Structure 1
Amino acid sequence: MSDTLKSNLERAEHYLERFKQQTTGHYINGEFTLGQGGKEYDNYTPTDNSSLGKVMAGSVEDMNAACEAAEAAFESWSNTPGSERKRLLNKFADRLVERADEIALVESMDCGQAIRFMKQAAVRGAANFRFFADKAPEAQNGLALHQEEHTNYTIRKAIGPVGIITPWNTPFMLSTWKIAPALAAGCTVVHKPAELTPLSAYILAEIADEVLPKGVWNMVNGFGEGVGKRMTEHPAIKAVALVGETATGSHIMRQGADTLKRMHFELGGKNPVIVFDDADFERALDAVVFMIYSLNGQRCTSSSRLLIQSGIRDRFIAALEQRVRNLRVGHSLDPETEVGPLVATEHYNKVLSYFDIAKQDGATTAVGGRRISEAQGNINPAGNYLEPTLFTGANNQMRIAQEEIFGPVLTAISFDTEDEAVQIANDTQYGLSGYIWTENTGRAMRMAKQVEAGMLWVNSENNRNLPSPFGGVKMSGIGRDGGDWSFDFYMETKNVCIAHGTHRVPTLGKR
């Protein structure tokens, strides 16, 4: 064991001790509570499937209390001047940075993501808060539309209490990405974190307790069929933002229908990375490897389908195979680790099942395709470790090309022409993101128009720009995050029309 890993383990144990010693509960109306009528469950680390402590799965009564608290606090918070919300959210960001070491180590142990990716989590989360904090004073601003005899102008007002449901893959960062604009807009929040990764949400609630007025931020742990369902049905909640699976989005849309909730969904993806013969070979190779094997492949925007043009197919696949073999699998707190353990045993088994499915479909397992069941290096075989995997010789009708595996698994498919690449890229129910590698500017422009996805990157990996819209089409979601698009979701727009006193008013019944 390296000295750095040993140090990380010791510091992580220090931060995790309190979670092991007491049950992790909820934060409702400015109080940390175990609620009423909930049931405890164990929270396991994927590094060795040992318990990180007990978590209280909330009850319907707990979610009712959180929604009511958010409703009671809404008027005051929405009327708080934007300049004051800006100050408080920047203070929140400061506290995130101060607790950066704790957040990174706890998150890495809770969800299995390699510390090399989590060590900047607090900094990115703080950047999310600062970006939207700075926009808070202008959030209510609209447009002025001048006509000859009337002037129309728009103003925006916070929609009300909102529900935020976040996933288990990068729970901390995605929580800040969703909650920061809601607070900046003047909404109050009820947060339901993923039941598999509750710890960083508790840290966020602790910071909220220090910084924000009572009832503005509420957090309830638990399962979708219980507290999640109640949140999406509760009449006080005016909008729901979800990052999760497509099937979950469908359930939530049905549950929110009776109260006509506004919905924002960032859902699944089976994203293509399209590499043409003229691509910058090494840069494309770097991006292909990074965008599927980083974050354990548990990323909604992962480029899980490689579409490789036939002219460079053999050379590119050979280089890719070597890179995949070289990936370092290990304990999530080892700074040398590139691929850590998958988040939970159920999900781990799901990913493993695709190794047999690939064989049944007739694909070739060029690299990997096995669980790691023996101790090696710092890997504990009781954890959820598998070999990074590359399937070749695939076609787009195979399940490994159509279904979201959500692990460090890449499916390579060959194509000959630009039109064929477009057809394969679009032949999926999903449409979250896509990546195009070519030195031909005209081709890049054509592909950007033709590929069905909410986001496209040309000659780049996923580069997040906070003012830009983020979201998918088809079964990958509804709505956009980022910049002013976030405020469009969390706020209602009102039009005001003022007459100049010069137009003719129609008359009826005048004698």
Structure 2
Amino acid sequence: MSTTTSPAAAARQALDSAFPRGLGAFVDGTVVAGGGERITLTSAATGEDFADFNDPGREGADAVLASAVRGAAKWAATDAFERAAILREVARAISEHVGELAVLESATTGKPLRDTRAEAAKVAEMFGYYAGWADKLMGRTIPVPGNWHTYTERVPWGVVAAITPWNAPLFTAGWNSAAPLAAGNAVVVKPSEFTPASTVRLAQLAHRAGLPEGVFNVAVGLGGTVGAALTGDPRVGKVSFIGSVATGRRVAVAAAQAGIPTVLELGGKSANIVFADADLDRAADGAVAAVFSGAGQSCVAGSRLLVQRSVHAEFVERVAERAARLRLGDPLDPDTEVGPIITAPQFAAVTSLIEAGLQDGGRRVTGAELPAAVTGTPLATGRWVAPTLLDGVTAANRLETNEVFGPVLGADAFDTEAEAIDRANGTNFGLAGAVWTGDVSRAHHVARSVRAGTFWINSYKTIHVAVPFGGFGDSGHGRSSGPGVLDEYTQTKAVWVPTRAAGAPFPSLSY
């Protein structure tokens, strides 16, 4: 099945439909054109330009923050039950526009429609889930010596700046805004300059569903202007960031210099461990989904495949056969399973790391050529990488420790359980991992031993807003989902009330 409209034309149509007056920042409930540097958007599927917009410049970034400060004061003063009701309306509005959001996301990023439909529905789920928590943020009463009634309150930070990546802009905008909003903060989302459209549309829908002006703003633009403003301005209470390790460290340093705490969700180089006693067909399906869905542009991609030696050759063949059958093509074609690499710099990085993996001794099993569905069409000028499997990727290979962020899987053999665990822990990343085995004791031992914030047993890549998500080491700090994330977006205030007006003098304090 194929579509009749070119990907670039489809992107222009989707943008014109969502933003008849052009794309820009979303401030005080309105799309506002910037006055700074011109930014051009290109189709990942064909390489053609399809739109442009202006960076807001420092003045525009200041206006976004000033609006958010006003919005934060209004939102924090809003009754918690009213906040919950509004967020439920936001969830409903997103649900009603899942199809539109998915088309906009696919058209402007190149992600397959089958993926973006699921992601748009998940964003609605996020807002619905945290709407249920908005009126349940409770403090504690604390018994202390003397005549005191002492209790705590959980209060919002004020303005939360959420810096999101280009690989899943709609999903991560919801992931990093629903919880802060439920906790009573205003949110400013800064999407990647490569993929801003779906985030602006999400904010429009949220505003129309009842969020007051300034409570959910979007600052589209460059890291050097908008990003720098958000990470270094004392009006920001907290920064959340999803992206690469290098950029995350720069964000953390800039925020720390301004006294702003951070939540960082960074990269991963996750190990997918397969033992000989596993259901090999199920494990092969899981290995393919773990790294090739989303064209590998996923922080939790299972990009390291470690297989017990007795079944290694057989298992690698099963994975290669499945990878070769994956359908590449027009992102808006419902049958497409793997899309292009979203940005030009990332395309260069992926192809470079494939060559490095080959130079370091890896053997290409599949992925040498693109299918005719790409090469024989206008898509041939796009940023395409065929699902690639390299075997014999040893611990010394550059593919072992460098995050590819593309549809590239490096495989190797192991002999013992201890060897598999050591190999899985052989990088500075600690985001995710998985084990496939029929031995329940081994499964739990490996899950406990591998240093990762999320670990799957006989499955891969399932996440849910109700479950904590985040990493160890170079994969970041803090958590971005689950009930506990509400602690990330609130501060604890202690209140002391004397229960007797007269009596002993106030105690002296040495603190």
| TM-score relative to the length of structure 2 | 0.93
Which residue matches 2:91? 93
Partner of residue 393, structure 1: 392
Please state if 1:166 is matched with 2:164.
yes
Matched residue, 1:130: 128
Cα pair 1:22 1:54 within 8 Å, conserved: no
Deviations 1:91-144 (A, max 9, x none): 1112112221111111012111111111222211100000001110012x1334
| CA deviation map 1:116-175 (0-9, x unaligned) | 111222211100000001110012x13345578777543201111110111111110110
How well do the aligned residues superpose, as a CA RMSD in angstroms? 2.5
What is the CA–CA distance in structure 2 between the aligned matches of 1:265 and 1:117, rounded to whole Å?
24
Kept in 2, the 8 Å contact 1:267–1:476? The answer is yes
Question: 1:364 deviation in Å?
Answer: 0.4
Please give the alpha-carbon distance, in whole angstroms, between the structure 2 residues aligned to 1:197 and 1:466.
23
Q: 1:181 aligns with which of 154, 179, 182?
A: 179
Q: 1:117 aligns with which of 115, 118, 123?
A: 115
Classify the secondary structure of the residue corresponding to 2:257: coil
Identity of paired residues, percent? 34
With 461-470 and 267-276 compared, the bigger mean Cα shift is at 461-470
The residue matched to 1:257 in structure 2 has which SS?
helix
Greater Cα offset, 173-182 or 209-218: 209-218
Cα distance in 1 for residues equivalent to 2:507 and 2:87: 53
SS of residue matched to 1:484: coil
The equivalent residue for 1:488 is 487
Paired residue type of 2:158:
G
Is the contact between residue 169 and residue 298 of structure 1 (CA under 8 Å) also seen in structure 2? Answer: yes
Gap change, CA 1:442 and 1:144, over 3 Å in 2: farther
Contact 1:78 1:186 in 2 (8 A): yes
Can you give the 5+ residue segments of structure 1 that lack an aligned partner in the other structure?
A: none
- Which consecutive unaligned segments of at least 5 residues does structure 2 have? none
Q: Judging changes above 3 Å, is the alpha-carbon distance between structure 1 residues 21 and 29 closer, same or farther for their aligned structure 2 residues?
A: closer
Q: Which among 187, 198, 201 is matched to residue 199 of structure 2?
A: 201
Residue 30 of structure 1: how far off its partner (Å)? 3.0
AA aligned to 1:88 is I
The answer (yes or no) to whether the contact 1:372–1:381 under 8 Å persists in 2 is no
Query: SS of the residue aligned with 2:333?
Result: coil
Tell me, yes or no, if structure 1 residue 335 matches structure 2 residue 334. yes
- Which amino acid in 2 is paired with 1:338? E
Whether the 8 Å CA contact 2:10–2:107 is kept in 1: the answer is no
CA distance in 2: counterparts of 1:148 and 1:42, whole angstroms: 64
Instruction: Give me the whole-angstrom Cα distance separating, in 2, the residues matched to 1:241 and 1:147.
Output: 35
Report the alpha carbon displacement of residue 58 of structure 1 after superposing the two structures with TM.
Answer: 1.9
Is the Cα–Cα contact under 8 Å of residues 80 and 135 in structure 2 kept in the other structure? yes
Cα deviation, 1:413-468, whole Å, max 9, x if unaligned, reads 21111111111111101110111111222212221221111111111112213222
**Residues 11 and 108, structure 2, Cα contact 8 Å, conserved in 1:** no
- CA offsets 1:391-431 (integer angstroms, 9 cap, x no match): 10111221111100000100002111111111111110111
Please give the alpha-carbon distance, in whole angstroms, between the structure 1 residues aligned to 2:480 and 2:218. Answer: 21
Aligned to 1:459: 458
Whole-Å separation in 1 of the counterparts to 2:507 and 2:430: 53
What residue identity is the alignment partner of 1:337?
Answer: T
- Residues paired across the two proteins, number: 504
> Using a 3 Å threshold, how does the CA distance of structure 1 residues 506 and 19 change in structure 2: closer, same or farther?
closer
Q: Which residue of 2 aligns with 1:443?
A: 442
Which residue in the other structure is 2:293 paired with? 294
**1:258, distance to aligned residue in structure 2 (A):** 2.4
Equivalent AA in structure 2 for residue 64 of structure 1 = D
- Whether the 8 Å contact between 1:309 and 1:414 is mirrored in structure 2 is yes
TM-score, normalised by the number of residues in structure 1: 0.93
Structure 1 equivalent of residue 72 of structure 2: 74
* Alignment deviations for residues 346-402 of structure 1 (CA, whole Å, 9 cap, x no partner): 211211112221221011011114567995465611111121100101112211111
